[in-house]
Amino acid sequence: MWREKAIKWGYLIVLLNAAIAVMNVGFGYGHYVKHEYWTMAISWGLSLMNGWVAYWQWTNVRKYKQELKELMWKTLSSPSEVLR
């Protein structure tokens, strides 16, 4: 089903966006040490954006898992005549 693939890809997207967000925080700190405030602000802004995308995708993954669980219970609790 497409939900299982969406859940797997969603976890990958969450992981990558969270890793990029953490790396951007580190880059921003490096710019802060060098007194490059504009590039620091851009790095931290990108970090916030990637963190937001990771959170948004995490909520989508949770929604897909809940839909999959409801579909599974609906299928298992239905009589076999209804499923034909």
Q: Residue 62, SS3?
A: helix
What are the DSSP calls for 2-14, one per residue?
Answer: HHHHHHHHHHHHH
Q: Which of 42, 54, 41 is nearest to 11 (CA)?
A: 54
Q: Is the pLDDT of residue 83 over 90?
A: no
- Residues 42/61/8/4 CA torsion (nearest 10 deg): -150
Q: Is the pLDDT of residue 30 over 70?
A: yes
Give the model's confidence band at 84: pLDDT under 50 very low, under 70 low, under 90 confident, else very high.
Answer: low
Q: Is the pLDDT of residue 82 over 70?
A: no
